[in-house]
């Protein structure tokens, strides 16, 4: 079971598993070092140290290659419900797998070209995974996922407003400013700067009709942009309300069922969604290292966790 142990180490560590926590710290430092070198290479006064920076960069990318290989090797533990080959493919085409792959690609393909080397910057997204279950970044991701339909609808409204306003301002200004409003794209550029209240000032209406349209479009833009903001804010309020409820359940745990996760529990290495489906329960909270974790569908139950749940009749 040494593969399982390696999997536990390279996954997000718990406070009681020091090798895993140490790996998290090590990989975080490696990521920061890699990004720092990438930034420092843009300073010409440091040209004398470029060879040292490239050596550090090469070492860090090699570390990323080893980590990527280990994650592929242990992918079947990340997706225990899938056969080994399908689990590997699932990881490779997951967000984390794609980020890992794009990080190491410049080492093998056209490493000398900055347009390919800049792909290394995507590695910084891996920082979001460190302690993802404990910090506010996970809350943001969960809220965006839960409200994605409403957010997409509001984005669609904004796009329609941009298209309509661009055509209106183009029609109103093309005769007065033929060199400025050459085509509909010029109107789109102006409408985006007006709707999002950026106001670059490079394109602006000069006719009376155009200025009236600009006032109306700006007011509509303020309201349209506020729609997704309100949706996300409401999502945060709902999310933290559920978190408070989960903490209350933990405090008054006699009102719900408890299960300690070990190899005999039937929950080990299951995701929340799979555990709920398999056992006909509703998981209300996950307690890990004394902290309450939001029971989102993708949370993987590991040994030592405690869950509170309600049975579904």
Are residues 90 and 194 both part of a single domain?
no
pLDDT value at position 254?
46
Check whether residue 15 and residue 123 sit in a common domain.
yes
Domain-embedded: residue 227:
yes
- Residue 58 pLDDT: 86
pLDDT at 247: 61
CATH number for the domain including 274? 3.30.70.1450
State the CATH number of the domain containing residue 97. Answer: 1.20.120.350
Domain housing 215: 148-234
Q: Which of 183, 208, 234 is the last residue of a domain?
A: 234
In a domain, 245, yes or no: no
Q: Residue 239: inside a domain, yes or no? A: no
49 with 99, same domain: the answer is yes
Asked, for residue 243, whether it belongs to a domain, the answer is: no
- Examine the fold and report which residue of 64, 99, 131 is the final residue of a domain before the chain moves on: 131
192 and 124: one domain?
no
Domain check: are 10 and 117 in the same one?
Answer: yes
| pLDDT for residue 118 | 61
Write the burial class of residue 106 (CB in 10 Å: 0-12 exposed, 13-18 middle, 19+ buried): buried
Contact in structure between 289 and 14 (CB atoms under 8 Å)? yes
Which pTM does this prediction carry?
0.54
* 23 in any annotated domain: yes
The pLDDT, as a whole number, for residue 28 is 82
Query: Closest by alpha carbon to 73, among 9, 14, 135?
Result: 9
10 & 118 share domain: yes
> At how many degrees (to 10) do helices 18-40 and 50-73 cross?
140
Same domain, yes or no: 155 and 125: no
Largest CA-CA distance found in the chain, in angstroms, rounded: 78
Is residue 246 one of the residues assigned to a domain? no
- Please tell me the distance from the alpha carbon of residue 191 to that of residue 205, in angstroms, as a whole number: 11
Domain count of the fold of the chain: 3
Q: Residue 304: inside a domain, yes or no?
A: yes
Q: Is residue 126 part of a domain?
A: yes
184 in the same domain as 118: no
The residue out of 234, 263, 291 marking a domain boundary is 234
Which residues of the chain have a pLDDT value below 70? 12-16, 106, 108-138, 197, 199, 243-256, 312-313
pLDDT of residue 137: 62
């Amino acid at each position: 079971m040494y593969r399982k142990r390696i999997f536990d180490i390279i996954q997000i560590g718990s406070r009681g598993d020091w090798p895993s926590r140490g790996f998290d710290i090590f990989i975080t430092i490696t990521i920061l070092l890699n990004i720092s070198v990438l930034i420092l290479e843009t300073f010409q006064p440091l040209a004398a140290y470029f060879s040292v920076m490239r050596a550090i960069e090469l070492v860090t990318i090699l570390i990323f290659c080893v980590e990527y290989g280990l994650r592929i090797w242990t992918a079947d533990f990340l997706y225990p419900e899938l056969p080994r080959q399908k689990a590997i493919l699932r990881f490779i085409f997951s967000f984390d797998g794609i980020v890992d792959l794009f990080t190491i690609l410049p080492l093998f393909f056209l490493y000398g070209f900055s347009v390919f080397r800049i792909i290394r910057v995507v590695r910084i997204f891996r920082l979001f995974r460190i302690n993802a279950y404990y910090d506010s970044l996970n809350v943001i991701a969960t809220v965006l996922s839960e409200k994605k339909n409403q957010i997409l609808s509001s984005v669609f409204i904004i796009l329609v407003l941009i298209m309509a306003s661009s055509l209106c301002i183009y029609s109103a200004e093309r005769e007065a400013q033929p060199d400025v409003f050459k085509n509909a794209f010029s109107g789109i550029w102006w409408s985006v700067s007006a709707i999002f209240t950026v106001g670059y000032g490079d394109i602006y209406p000069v006719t009376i009709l155009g200025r009236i349209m600009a006032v109306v479009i700006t007011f509509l833009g303020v309201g349209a942009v506020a729609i997704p903001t309100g949706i996300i804010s409401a999502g945060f309020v709902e999310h933290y309300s559920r978190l408070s409820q989960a903490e209350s359940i933990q405090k008054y745990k006699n009102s719900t069922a408890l299960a300690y996760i070990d190899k005999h529990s039937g929950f080990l290495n299951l995701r929340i969604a799979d555990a709920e489906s398999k056992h006909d329960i509703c998981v209300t909270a996950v307690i890990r290292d004394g902290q309450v974790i939001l029971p989102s569908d993708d949370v993987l139950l590991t040994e030592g966790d405690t869950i509170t749940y309600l049975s579904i009749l």
